[in-house]
Amino acid sequence: MTPPEQVLVPGGRDVRASLDAGSAAVGTDAERAGADGGDDGRTDAGNVGDAGDATDGSAGAGRIVVACPPHPRMGGSRSDSRLVAASDVLGERGIDCLRVDYGDWDEGRGEQRDVGNALAWAGERYDAVGLFGFSFGATMALCVAAGRDDLSGTSALAPDRGREGADAVVALSGIECPVQVLHGARDDTADWEPIVERARESGHTVEALPADHFFVGQQQKVAERVGTFFERAFG
């Protein structure tokens, strides 16, 4: 398995990410990253803006999903097993995945900016971009997706409603792309009921799985559902 390329997402908040290349991805690692990495493999953020002009056009090809981790103050990171499982399944289907970490904790505000900056990075390099998140990351994904017209689909795994300024229920009304909401029927951690209700009212895809908030023993099943959703969303 090819190791992920390490990416420094522009935006001034020291947001690191891992780019997992899909098995049928178009272009080289350097083209997808937008610049040659240094000795440590990290992309030079100063070169990011030149990525589109620095290639022969293949950097804009392909499909990618930006994956948002759970709460950073509760151990959430881009190495979360649910994000990795989803990325593996996406890769098998020829879809790249950018697993991001957030910058310094900012009560959800800076974290939304981090996700938006990651989407901008991806949008400069790929024809189609999707957004996925787990738990706190699912809340961030739904909030950031609202009002955008550049996403092919958004998948939220075990989302929590959030809070003022990051209310996923309010955000759902403003999302134009297809949305998938997956939740554990035994989840007593997240406040998911209002999200599920609004998603159903909006005609989005909702599925309950016989699991708790963490989907212990069911991560592969969840990942397959996420992969199928994005395959259909990308068309």
Q: What pTM was computed for the model?
A: 0.85
43: left (phi over 0), alpha (psi -120 to 50) or beta: beta
**CA 202/CA 79 separation, integer angstroms:** 32
What is the chain's pLDDT, residue by residue, as a tens digit (235 residues)?
689 999 999 999 999 999 999 986 434 333 434 433 333 333 333 333 333 332 233 344 699 999 999 999 999 999 999 999 999 999 999 999 999 999 999 999 999 999 999 999 999 999 999 999 999 999 999 999 999 999 999 999 999 999 877 999 999 999 999 999 999 999 999 999 999 999 999 999 999 999 999 999 999 999 999 999 999 999 9
162: left (phi over 0), alpha (psi -120 to 50) or beta: left
Q: What is the DSSP string of 133-179?
A: EETHHHHHHHHHHTT-SS-SEEEEES---EETTEEHHHHHTT--S-E
Are 37 and 6 spatial neighbours (Cβ–Cβ below 8 Å)? yes
**Phi, then psi, of 89 in degrees rounded to 5:** -65, -40
Instruction: Classify domain 5-46+60-234 at the CATH topology level.
Output: Rossmann fold (3.40.50)
Beta-bridge partners for 98: 19, 66
Classify burial at 170, counting beta carbons within 10 Å of its beta carbon; exposed 0-12, middle 13-18, buried 19 or more.
Answer: middle
